[in-house]
Chains A and B, each alone.
Chain A
């Protein structure tokens, strides 16, 4: 299952026409202790680069953007009870939402793991 990354520090796992989205380990490290996550409602239409979710750390609220166009099929309801999952397992149990992809060609513009690591090293 290929995984892609954005310069906004989101990851996206693609499985056929459905993708799972979260924020990267680098991002959670920058944010610090996460105390609240607002995931999009099922059925929400997201467009690439638009607001998708909000993550609140102790010190600030940050927007999470949609890495690609799509329709939300599920938000991670576990984050409501346990937002710290984003700190402890950002690229696993701490996923944010799933969406049905509208335009798979958008994935071509995203980074792979190696490119993302190189990108983080420049920050």
Chain B
């Protein structure tokens, strides 16, 4: 028995696979380690299905220390970064964060990223698989008076799920005062930590950046709580798929612009009016007239999973391709996302996906597949 399809990241290993600060901790917790984005990372502990459902009901701890934690500083840093992304970074207030996109000169997506106004600098979190390319792109394209720092002495943890706030507040009381897409600095056991109310599961939750040497103690303190279990990459992928969130390198790449990627919300109002971001002509044209193709969600009939690479058909005509897909534990059925022509992107459109020579009926559907549970107002 061999796996005919594997996580593509497995293939993209360039140099020797690196070890993250929590490597031994994952192994001690029973994590099954796989190569991902150049690092050994836990794909699962007790099982993807159980871990996925745990996060939807309780709180799950993810180690995402493979992601790139960058910081940009300089007097004109917001304006400078706006030359590379389509967001209104100048309007981003201290303690606020925004999802944005690093675009190439044609408006193609080089990466998706989170930008936080940390007061004295802009914090940026980028995908692990392309962080070195991102750093090169930023260094090459930002003015010399902007300083870029790659914060390799900090790890990044995500605590996700409806009980995440209860758990994290015991360690960092400031957590309860944040709403979705807000961030603050705090201390834990005398160590400086940065927390934001954000994540990649569709649930309420937090991302916590803290010094490498404190990661294990912090992870232990959280996992000692009855609400919290460690969660692997497998459930991270199924959770984000249900939440309708694209995965860079699969659902997004440099051939796709923000409108095609169904990420037009990341193009701020002022930037739509003023342009001035890479590929603005193409992107604004697509905004005005519609893009030729679009990322859509697909509900799959039956039980056969439809995975990345499956061709999509309207009758006998091949019209698109699946970019992510699999069994959705909270939906209880297979789901997928992929690209189809604009005239096939309307929810309710009946299509077929090809899996091992068989046609599987599927229906274009609005995303998310599972409602987001973001906390936009604090109870206090």
Contact = CB atoms under 8 A, between A and B. Distances in A.
B8 to A, nearest CB: 11
A38 B4 CA distance: 14
A83 B303 CA distance: 10
Nearest to B7: A59
Interface string B324-358: 00110100001000000000000000000000100
Contacts of B7: 59-60
Prevailing SS type, chain A contact patch: strand
Interface string A19-54: 000010001000011011010000000000000001
A60 B48 contact: no
A35 B4 contact: no
Contacts of B122: none
Interface in B278-307: 303-305, 307
Nearest to A53: B1
Interface residues of B, number: 26
A102 to B, nearest CB: 22
B230 to A, nearest CB: 16
A88 interface: no
B305 A35 contact: yes
A35 B1 contact: no
A118 interface: no
B1 A9 contact: yes
Interface string A44-79: 000000000011111111111100000000000000
B189 interface: no
Contact of B2 (A8, A35, A38, A58): A8
Contact of A56 (B6, B43, B304): B304
B47 interface: yes
B359 to A, nearest CB: 14
Given A56-B327, A59-B234, A35 B5 contact: no
A14 to B, nearest CB: 20
Contacts of B304: 36, 38, 56
Contacts of A64: 1
B127 interface: no
A65 B307 CA distance: 21
Contact of A33 (B4, B49, B303, B356): B49
A60 B6 CA distance: 6
Interface in B228-242: 234, 237-238
A63 B48 contact: no
Contacts of A32: 44, 47-49, 234
A64 B1 CA distance: 5
A11 to B, nearest CB: 11
Contacts, number: 68
A37 B307 CA distance: 15
Nearest to A37: B303
Given A32-B47, A33-B48, A36-B303, A62 B326 contact: no
Contacts of B238: 58
A54 B4 CA distance: 10
B153 interface: no
A60 B43 CA distance: 12
Nearest to A64: B1
Contacts of B303: 35-36, 80, 83
B3 interface: yes
Contacts of B237: 59
B2 A63 contact: yes
Nearest to A24: B1
Contacts of A36: 303-305, 327
Given A32-B44, A36-B303, A63 B327 contact: no
A61 B326 CA distance: 10
A91 interface: no
Contact of B307 (A8, A61, A62): A61
A61 B49 CA distance: 16
Nearest to B303: A36
A61 B305 contact: yes
Nearest to B356: A54
Nearest to A81: B303
A113 B6 CA distance: 29
Given A32-B49, A36-B304, 8 more contacts: A9-B1, A32-B48, A56-B327, A58-B49, A58-B327, A62-B1, A62-B2, A80-B303
Interface of B: 1-7, 43-44, 47-50, 52, 234, 237-238, 303-305, 307, 326-327, 329, 334, 356
29 contacts: A8-B2, A23-B1, A27-B1, A32-B44, A32-B49, A33-B47, A33-B50, A33-B327, A35-B334, A36-B327, A38-B304, A38-B356, A54-B4, A55-B1, A56-B305, A57-B48, A58-B48, A58-B52, A58-B238, A58-B327, A60-B5, A61-B3, A61-B5, A61-B307, A62-B1, A62-B3, A63-B4, A64-B1, A65-B1
